[in-house]
Amino acid sequence: MKPPTDRSLALGAYVYAVLAFIIVPLVIVIPMSFSQNDYLAFPPSGFTLKWYSEYFDSRQWRAATWLSVQVALLTALFASVIGTAATYAMIRGRSRLVTAFQILLIGPIIVPHIALAVGLYLFFQTIGLSGTIPGFVLAHTVLTLPFVVFTMAAALGKVDPNLEAAAMSCGATRFQAFRLVTLPLVLPSLASSALFAFIISFDEPVVSFFLSGVRQKTLPRRMFEDIEQNLTPVIPAIATLLIVLSILILLGAHVLRSRSVTR
Amino acid sequence: MNIASARQSASGASIRISRLEKRFGAVSAVDGVDIDIAAGEFIALLGPSGSGKTTILMSVAGFEFPTSGTIHVDSEDLTYVPSNRRNLGMVFQNYTLFPHMSILDNVAFPLKMRGLRTAERHARAEAALATVRLAGYGHRRPNELSGGQQQRVALARAIVYQPRVLLMDEPLSALDKNLREDMQLEIKRLHAELGITVIFVTHDQSEALTMADRIAVLRDGKIQQIGPARQLYERPANLFTAGFIGEMNFVDVRDESVGDDVAVALPWGETWRLPATAAVEPPAAGETAVLAVRPERLQLGASSPGHVITVTLSDIVYAGAALLLIGRLPDGTEMRARIPGASQLSSLAPGDVASFTIPADAMLLYRGKRR
């Protein structure tokens, strides 16, 4: 190891500062969720679980959570299936439209969510999808597809196309070759991209803000409403639960991906 | 899929490739190829990269569909039949074992596709593994095997359902030299045992010469010559094959033939009469031509019958069984000689002028010019 120079010390300090700015808000939110105050305050005073029980006892919170879970599950299903099929076509296909397709699929990452949200809102209002589960799922599928495409492009790119040719020379149809050879090899990445689609959909506030109806509100939409009206420590309590969920999902995705590497 | 018929046909099928053409845009990868392959024959497609050899194999395998022409296996037209319904065994260059399956499941895969029950699948897969001397390896994973073992598993997978034809796309080029020679023998042995028809694509001429009954030499999508190794080596049909197979000396000459008497004028002024059989591609009188001689056909000294050349030696290379002498003819053309039994040659040194005799039957005459 070389002795630290001024430059490396400065870089280290910078990195830790960035990490601190990312992590400190999380560290503040967690104790606030156990605070006995009726309003958001830091440092918190006392210890109580009543904000958690308020969340779990409230019919409104439960309804919003259940809606978000349904939407996120369906989004994860659709995005991973459509995204995998599209990526497979782009990697194995010989079409000239591949570049155009790629740009369209990855577009939602580049276009500001608010622009997408306004567009989807006007469109869904006209065709009656606003505030419905199919509406949320369609919108979130568009948003999460780029992440599935990136993950699956990396995974499918590593699978030798001759493996499918070999399977076909053994008598497998094209679909059997995909199902029995390629799919098992990319399954860990597929599961990991579905997890990402789930958490992105579950957390998504902007598009949901526009698409939510009077009764059908996703959890993030309901949280914003509560922040505007009440601002009780229920919000940090839910935030804490979401942090735990996200960490679990990231760990799951990590385990899946390291499994796919060792294969 | 007809399992019964696949089981019965233990021996090879005949293959007829007629007027095969494959164009990719403006490029002709395969340009009017005709090959008739007898049942049980071992044929090698040999050529530099881009010669169309792999495209021909892929058309037989069903991974490419030709622009025109037909492919018949045992008089059944397979030209546009999908690859999974052709019942041909195929071995790829990079093993292509399924990494998530055990060795046994890999070998049993074609049987699974044919709807066999698990017990019979496993029994037959075990038997195929024994055929390639890998009995007892069934429970392992592909990444636990060496490259040579993996390719033997791929071979077992290709023959487990007793196909009539085995296609191999440069199957040995990923292996190192010793393994490659072992595998050459292994494949020859399997071919003899099973009586299967083999089409073997390679760019390695020694592999083609040692393994195949007949070799098709390809260049730019066209067959240059097709025949047994001996014919290709001793009487190449044209200048390309003469230069592509083995080592060859070339001398630019002018044809001076009168009637049936073949004669050539050499660049240093001499005129030689050649036997009529020397003219593989008879040039017209007065035209430029190329005289070709294998280095091992040159004899040191001027005592034996034949035409004598004088060569100014530039390099003397000890090459084990033979001594390689490299030098120049009076006009500057390079000439190589491989002389067996190096002991009496220790007196030669670079700069010396040596005489060599070319026996009359060692000379081959072609139209055209040296490249």
Cβ of A166 within 8 Å of Cβ of B96? The answer is: yes
pLDDT tens digits for range B266-285: 998 889 999 988 989 888 88
Q: Which residues of B touch A184 (CB under 8 A)?
A: 100
Average pLDDT over residues B29-39: 94
Mean pLDDT of chain A: 87
Hey, how many other C-beta atoms are within 10 angstroms of the C-beta on A134?
12
Cα radius of gyration rounded to whole Å, chain B: 25
Torsion angles phi and psi, residue B67, rounded to 5: -70, -40
- Per-residue model confidence (pLDDT) at position A6: 81
B205 touches B46 (CB < 8 A): yes
Q: Say whether A162 and B92 touch across the interface (CB within 8 A).
A: yes
Report yes or no: A181 at the B interface, CB cutoff 8 Å: yes
Length of chain B: 371
What is the predicted pLDDT for the residue at A95? 77
Q: Cβ–Cβ of A170/B109 closer than 8 Å?
A: yes
Contacts of A168 in chain B (CB under 8 A): 62-63, 82-84
- Report the distance separating Cα A71 and Cα A212, nearest Å: 12
Partner-chain contact A169 B84, CB within 8 Å: yes
The answer, yes or no, to whether residue A46 has pLDDT greater than 90, is: no
Which chain A residue shows the shortest CA-CA distance from B63?
A: A165
Hey, of A162, A170, A180, A181, which one would you mutate to test binding to chain B, going by the most B CBs within 10 A of its CB?
A: A170
Q: How do residues A192-218 score in pLDDT, each as one tens digit?
A: 999 999 999 998 888 888 888 777 888
Q: Is the pLDDT of residue A181 over 60?
A: yes
The residues facing B35 across adjacent strands are: B17
A183 touches chain B (CB under 8 A): no
Band of the pLDDT at A158, cuts 50, 70, 90?
Answer: very high
Q: If you average pLDDT over residues B11-33, what whole number do you get?
A: 92
**CATH code at A58-259:** 1.10.3720.10
Task: Choose the closest CB to B100 out of A169, A174, A184.
Answer: A184
pLDDT at B3 over 50: no
CA distance B83 to chain A (A): 6
> Is there a contact between A171 and B94 if contact means CB atoms under 8 Å apart?
no
Q: What DSSP element (H or E) covers B16?
A: strand B15-24
Record: contact A165-B83, CB cut-off 8 A:
yes
Q: Decide if A171 and B88 are in contact by the 8 Å CB cutoff.
A: no
Decide if pLDDT at B124 tops 70.
Answer: yes
Instruction: State how far the Cα of A117 lies from the Cα of B176, in Å rounded to an integer.
Output: 59
pLDDT at B348: 81
Mean pLDDT of chain B: 90
Q: What is the pLDDT of residue B78?
A: 93
Q: Which of B1-10, B14-23, B331-340 has the lowest mean pLDDT?
A: B1-10
Residues of A in contact with B86 (CB under 8 A): 169
Q: What is the mean pLDDT of residues B44-60?
A: 94
- Tell me which chain A residues have a C-beta less than 8 angstroms from the C-beta of B81: none
Quick check: A170 and B110 CB within 8 A? yes
In angstroms, the CA B234 to CA B106 distance is 43
A169 interaction partners in chain B (CB closer than 8 Å):
61-62, 83-84, 86, 88-90, 158, 167
Residue A190: its pLDDT value, please? 93
| Cβ pair A172:B92 closer than 8 A | no
| Residue A131: predicted pLDDT | 83
Quick check: B65 contacting A, CB < 8 Å? no
The ipTM, to two decimals, is: 0.82
pLDDT tens figures, A15-45: 999 998 888 888 888 888 888 887 777 777 7
Task: Give pLDDT, residue A229.
Answer: 84
| Residue A39, pLDDT score | 77
Highest averaged pLDDT of the listed ranges A95-104, B18-27, B344-353: B18-27
pTM: 0.81
CB-based contact, B61 to chain A, within 8 Å = yes
What is the structure's pLDDT at A205? 86
Query: Can you give the pLDDT at residue B346?
Result: 65
In sequence order, what DSSP letters do the residues of B53-113 get, joined into one string? HHHHHHHHHTSS--SEEEEEETTEE-TTS-GGGS--EEE-TT----TTS-HHHHHHHHHHH
Interchain CB distance below 8 Å, B88 and A169? yes
With beta carbons less than 8 A apart as the criterion, state whether B129 and B50 touch.
no
Per-residue pLDDT at B180 exceeds 50: yes
Of the listed ranges A21-30, B69-78, B162-171, B195-204, the least confidently predicted one is A21-30
pLDDT level of residue A2 (50, 70, 90 thresholds)? low
Lowest mean pLDDT, pick from A18-32, B121-135, B145-159: A18-32
Q: How far is CA A127 from CA A76, A121, A135, A221, in A?
A: 24, 10, 10, 22
Instruction: Say yes or no to pLDDT of B4 above 60.
Output: no
pLDDT at B344 over 70: no
Cβ–Cβ below 8 Å for B84 and A171: yes
Q: What is the pLDDT of residues A53-85, one digit of tens each?
A: 888 888 888 989 999 999 999 999 999 999 999
* Partner B contacted by A168 (CB < 8 A): yes
Q: What is the pLDDT of residue B7?
A: 39
Residue A165 has pLDDT above 90, yes or no: yes
Write the residue in A168, A184, A263 that is nearest to B84 by C-beta.
Answer: A168
Mean pLDDT score, A139-168: 93
**Nearest Cα residue in chain A from B157:** A170
Sort A19 into a burial class: Cβ within 10 Å, 0-12 / 13-18 / 19+.
exposed
pLDDT of residue B63 exceeding 90, the answer is yes
Could you give the percent of chain B with pLDDT greater than 90? Answer: 70
- pLDDT, residue B99, reads 94
CA atoms within 13 A on the CB side of A156: 22
| Whole-number Å distance between alpha carbons of A45 and A175 | 61
**Would you call the peptide bond into A43 cis, given omega within 30 degrees of 0 as the criterion?**
yes
Q: Is the per-residue pLDDT at A164 higher than 70?
A: yes
Q: How confident is the model at residue A163 (pLDDT cuts 50, 70, 90)?
A: very high
At A263 the pLDDT is 46
Q: Collapse the DSSP code of A106 into the 3-class scheme (helix H, G, I; strand E, B; otherwise coil) and give the result.
A: helix
Query: Rounded to a whole number, what is the distance in Å from the CA of B246 to chain A's nearest CA?
Result: 32
Spell out which residues of chain B touch residue A190, defining contact as CB-CB under 8 Å: none
Candidates B54, B83, B143, partner chain A, best to mutate (most A CBs within 10 A): B83
For residue B9, the model assigns a pLDDT of 44
Domain ranges (residues) in chain A = 58-259
A178 to chain B, closest Cα gap in Å? 12
**B-chain residue closest to A260, CA distance:** B100
What DSSP string runs through A183-247?
HHHHHHHHHHHHHHHHHHHHH--HHHHHH--SS---HHHHHHHHHHHT--THHHHHHHHHHHHHH
Q: If phi over 0 gives left and psi between -120 and 50 gives alpha, with beta otherwise, what is residue A230?
A: alpha
Q: What is the pLDDT of residues A252-263, one digit of tens each?
A: 888 877 776 544
Judged against a pLDDT cut of 70, whether residue A4 lies above it is answered with: no
